[in-house]
Amino acid sequence: MSLAIETHNLGKRYGDVTAVNSLSLRVAEGEIYAFLGLNGAGKTTTIRLLLGMVKPTAGYADVLQTRVQPGRREPWAAVGYMVEDSRAYPELTVYENLEVARRLHPGVLPKAVDDMIEQMGLSAYADRRARTLSHGNAQRLGLAKALLHAPQLIILDEPSNGLDPAGIVEIRELLQSLVREHGVTVFMSSHILAEVARLADRIGIIHEGRLIQELNISELERDRKRLLVLAVRQLALARTALEAAGYTPLLHADGAIALEDASAIDAPDIIASLLVQAGAPPTRLMVEEEELEQYFLRLVGLEAGVQNE
Amino acid sequence: MNNLPDMIWIELRKAIRSRMPLWTALGSLFLPLGIAFLMFVAKNPEVSKKLGLISAKADLLAYSATDWSSYLGLYGMIIAAVGFLLFVLVVSWVFGREFADGTLKDMLAVPVPRGGILLAKFTTVAIWSVALSIVIYVAGLVIGAVIKLPGGSISLILQGSTMVLVTTGLVILGVPPFAFFASVGRGYLLPIGVAVLTLMTTNLMMVVGWAEYFPWAVPGLYAQGETPLPPVSYWIVLFTALVGMLATYLWWKYADQSR
């Protein structure tokens, strides 16, 4: 398996501030890799390092098996990207902006511009100046510029920023079809786990410049906390009974009891009979899976929600 | 560099569509029109009485440009001073706008060498600057003909045209360092600020007598044409251009572009 992106202890310091710290990433060809982190976690700096826009202060990055160095021409013919918010020349039309992007990629035929306008649903705006575009359409233009030269590797910084729900679905489907039909590799950053969980094959979580976890989508399902949530009328009675049986009841939101014990989650029927026998029958009993965003916040150490009493 | 024509196309397209060349051309027309007005005032004492202060300057101008020869010399001086500011405005826009509009990032990780992009930008600045010079000069010629300046001849006008053209060239060669300032300052403010400072320093150099070694004073000295300049003056101007272009190139190649 060859790697589309490989970084080795990549780091970037600005004076005393460490933006990216000892980052070792491996993105296989043909996969969708989501790079997840809160604002300021180092996502954009990492992307700029990968694109040779800033020099690393430690380590190195290989993109499409080429060492990234400032001002080099390789490997950019096969890389499409969008960094931060999409910007275009305001005085040029959508068509002209794409024509500029085309000429920056020698060998791309003029027809690619028309095709891309159609593919991104920008036909109605082709002759509009970029300054008049809505945020969503400006974002589409940015994506069109990134995809124009049919790159092998697409690096996108928060691609769904500013898109409406229909646009988000559309971009997701577009990226999936590029991966499926053309074997393209996608490296995208996001701060919303739920958004990338549907799209990515693998997720890397960055916090304060460090890669704190890398996981496959299947691992994501496995690692999320599960809880057995019980609502009862006699709260004290139920807690005593559960503690007597060796469980550790936690106070859940809205006055319910939560159990993290795997034995309880796997056998809620036993818990139900236990409570009935104790004279505190459950009025509600359900297995709750941790919300993705909560899981993400737990990973980066900003947990909220379940609390020990 | 086989994609240089494409890069130049991009730069010219951006410039033309922004209407900036039109605005700078209209702006530069103010100069010959202003001069025409002052000469008109000087030649019509009844108008000049009503205007008071202006008439003193107008008289001064009228005495310094009473025939074609001195009139054309005046244009050389204007291009050396005001043309310089105009050309710095052009170079600031061509380079600084990529930072101001946030469009720089889209030309960094591309399979075109950054040197090619920069060369296209400098070429655009040169074409644009020469065009502005021509606008100023042709307007000057038309006005000179309208006010029926004495002492004109084809050879004199050819001579004047050559002088204006060479002055333009010398001024343009002094402009590349301002591309560097536009890049480092990531916008328009720094190069324009430094340009004002440069003009002030030029005056100072004239006073202390080092003007022929100060690259931004050389075009003005050349336009005055009183004493021939030593060859080293021209070398200094050329060197300034090369240093400016090299500094800009190195900065684009090696500086972190994190915005």
ipTM of the complex: 0.88
Residues A106, B253: C-beta atoms closer than 8 Å:
no
Q: pLDDT under 70 in chain B at which residues?
A: 1-2, 45, 47-65
Comparison of pLDDT for B71 and A143, the residue scoring more: A143
B112 contacts chain A (CB < 8 A) = yes
Q: How far is CA B192 from CA B34, B76, B95, B199, B243, in A?
A: 23, 22, 12, 11, 19
B114 contacts chain A (CB < 8 A) = yes
Sole residue written with tokens 């931060």: A84
pTM of the model: 0.87
Is the domain of A193 the same as that of A278?
Answer: no
How many CB pairs lie under 8 A apart between chains A and B? 84
Rounded-to-integer distance, Cα A273 and Cα B141, Å: 105
Q: How far is CA B257 from CA A126, A233, B33, B126, in A?
A: 30, 62, 43, 26
Is the domain of A88 the same as that of A106?
Answer: yes
B7 contacts chain A (CB < 8 A) = yes
Which residues of chain A are within 8 Å of residue B254 when distances are taken between CB atoms?
55, 70-71
The single-letter DSSP state of residue A301 is T
Is the domain of A282 the same as that of A185?
Answer: no
Which residues of chain A are within 8 Å of residue B108 when distances are taken between CB atoms?
51-53
Residues 6+ positions from B237 with CB-CB distance below 8 Å: B170, B173, B174, B215, B218, B219
Which CATH number covers residue A190? Answer: 3.40.50.300
pLDDT of residue A222: 78
pLDDT of residue A305: 45
Residue A267 lies in a domain: yes
Residues B102, A87: C-beta atoms closer than 8 Å:
yes
Residue A303 lies in a domain: no
Which residues of chain A are within 8 Å of residue B258 when distances are taken between CB atoms?
45, 48, 53-54
Residues 6+ positions from A27 with CB-CB distance below 8 Å: A3, A4, A5, A6, A33, A185, A187, A202
**What pLDDT band is residue A53 in, cutting at 50, 70 and 90?**
very high
Q: How far is CA B190 from CA A151, B88, B241, in A?
A: 37, 11, 18
| Nearest CB to A106 within list B19, B111, B254 | B111
Residue in chain B lying closest to A57 (CA): B256
Residue in chain B lying closest to A102 (CA): B6
pLDDT of residue B53: 57
Residues B258, A54: C-beta atoms closer than 8 Å:
yes
In chain B, the N- to C-terminal Cα span, in Å, equals 28
CB A179 within 8 A of CB A191: no
- Taking alpha carbons only, the member of A144, A143, A168, A169 closest to residue A156 is A143
Is the domain of A173 the same as that of A41?
Answer: yes
Which residues of chain B are within 8 Å of residue A52 when distances are taken between CB atoms?
108-109
pLDDT (mean) for A104-132:
95
Is the domain of A160 the same as that of A246?
Answer: no
Give me the DSSP letters along B54-88: HHHHHHHHHHH-SSHHHHHHHHHHHIIIIIHHHHH
Is the domain of A199 the same as that of A233?
Answer: no
Interface of A with B (CB under 8 A): 45, 48, 51-55, 70-71, 73-74, 76-77, 79, 81, 83-85, 87-92, 96, 99-101, 103-106, 145
Residue A237 lies in a domain: yes
Rounded-to-integer distance, Cα B13 and Cα A72, Å: 25
Is the domain of A195 the same as that of A276?
Answer: no
In chain A, the N- to C-terminal Cα span, in Å, equals 49
Which CATH number covers residue A248? Answer: 3.30.70.100
**DSSP count for chain B of H helices, then E strands:** 12, 0
Residue A294 lies in a domain: no
| Nearest CB to A53 within list B10, B17, B257 | B257
Is the domain of A241 the same as that of A209?
Answer: no
Residue A127 lies in a domain: yes
Residues A71, B252: C-beta atoms closer than 8 Å:
yes
- Taking alpha carbons only, the member of B258, B256, B106 closest to residue A43 is B258
Q: How far is CA A167 from CA A94, A139, A274, B70, B142, in A?
A: 18, 10, 50, 67, 58
**What pLDDT band is residue A143 in, cutting at 50, 70 and 90?**
very high
Mutating which of A45, A69, A89, A141 best tests the B interface, going by the most B Cβ atoms within 10 A?
A89
pLDDT of residue A309: 35
Residues A103, B6: C-beta atoms closer than 8 Å:
yes
Q: Which domain holds residue A247?
A: 226-289
Which residues of chain A are within 8 Å of residue B15 when distances are taken between CB atoms?
none
- The residue among A221, A243, A261 that closes a domain is A221
The single-letter DSSP state of residue A93 is B
Task: Give CA angle at B74 (B69, B76), nearest 5°.
Answer: 100
For residue A251, pLDDT beyond 80: yes
Residue A131 lies in a domain: yes
Is the domain of A277 the same as that of A160?
Answer: no
pLDDT (mean) for A91-96:
96
pLDDT (mean) for A22-32:
94
Mutating which of A53, A93, A132, A141 best tests the B interface, going by the most B Cβ atoms within 10 A?
A53
The tally of domains found in chain A comes to 2
Residues B109, A100: C-beta atoms closer than 8 Å:
no
Q: Which strand ranges, in their side-by-side order, compose the sheet holding A153-157?
A: A79-82, A153-157, A185-190, A32-36, A202-207, A210-216
Select the highest-mean-pLDDT range: A215-229, A255-269, B49-63, B104-118. B104-118
Is the domain of A273 the same as that of A205?
Answer: no
- Taking alpha carbons only, the member of A171, A196, A77 closest to residue A119 is A171
**What pLDDT band is residue A307 in, cutting at 50, 70 and 90?**
very low
